Structure 1
Amino acid sequence: MIPMWWLAVLVTIVAVFGAYATWTVTRVERLHRRARAAESALLAKLDDRAETVLKFVGNPGFEEVVALALSVVAVPADTQRQRELREYAENDLTRALRDLAENPLWSDDLDSANRRVALARQIHTDFVRDAVASRSLTMAVVLRLHRRLPRPEYWDIDDPSSEFGSV
């Protein structure tokens, strides 16, 4: 016959293990949800910036930037290939905007849009870093969460605030 205190110890160990497993699953899933939400916010800020650029249609010197903004808006980010094309288009737009930063028609709206993109990019990068790190927790590996949850991806885009001033 097993002494009663052994049964209490066994139940306590199982309860602690179950609580830790539940906490780990919740944490990993929450970090992945936040990374997806941050990516949606980043895409929204990138679209907002492109729409801000489109306000300059017809202004001399802004033809290339407007064309690049149109290409950015036209490319969704649903598949991996579309995502890569979107990254290239965003980087081209950022470089073109850097070249126009001294244009007298430059507006505070463009500065503001670039700052919002830079902030959204940093937040997204932080959440992706945390979500990717959470996938390597021992309990996450044991529970095979890395197979169930898609791995968040970084956006390889230039930091728009690096040349436009401080954030």
Structure 2
Amino acid sequence: MWWLAVLVAIVAAVGAYATWTVTRVERLHRRARTSESALLNKLDDRAETVLKFVGQPGFDEVVALALSVVAVPAETQRQRELREYAENDLTRALRELHPDPAWADDLEAANRRVALARQIHTDFVRDAVASRSLPMAVLLRLHHRLPRPQYWDIEDPVQ
């Protein structure tokens, strides 16, 4: 009868580990999705900050790029790629502007928030992707059930 107790203990341990693994993988994927939403919000906020300076000298190209950023949603893979290109163009255009005390602080703060949100998203995606290769996650085929989180290939606005 002792072997039955050992068998029950082993099954309970494996079940607990499987439950822990599934919970961890799902939680990391949820955090990656949430951080992506936060990143998109910060990118939209930066574009809206740029749009506040419509009519300022030298802002014509930057405002047009900001409008293209706001106009592109990130729902499909193609839209996501277009949004990445638009964000990178906006970042490059903002770097080329000569700082003016009237707007430099607002844009610098918006760029810092974007950089922080991008770093947090990158960290969560890295952790979620790594969790997909855990032995129990592979055994339970979680990589088929959960969509793979994606990195945002955008330039760091703070340099």
What is the TM-score of this pair, normalised by structure 2?
Answer: 0.98
Deviation at 1:98, TM superposition (A): 0.3
Count of equivalent residues: 159
Amino acid at match of 2:87: E
Task: Return 5+ residue gaps in structure 1 as ranges.
Answer: 163-167
- What is aligned with 1:143? 140
Identity of aligned residues (%): 85
* 1:130 maps to 2:127: yes
Q: Distance in 1 between matches of 2:47 and 2:98?
A: 15
- What is aligned with 2:95? 98
Q: Distance in 2 between matches of 1:45 and 1:102?
A: 21
Candidates 32, 50, 53, aligned match of 2:50: 53
Post-superposition CA distance 1:56-106 (Å, at most 9, x none):
101110000000000000000000000000000000000000001434543
- State the SS of the aligned residue for 1:57: coil
* 1:71 maps to 2:61: no
- State the SS of the aligned residue for 1:23: helix
Candidates 23, 27, 33, aligned match of 2:24: 27
* 1:158 maps to 2:155: yes
Contact 1:100 1:106 in 2 (8 A): no
- State the SS of the aligned residue for 2:133: coil
What is the TM-score of this pair, normalised by structure 1?
Answer: 0.93
Greater radius of gyration (CA): 1
Amino acid at match of 1:99: E
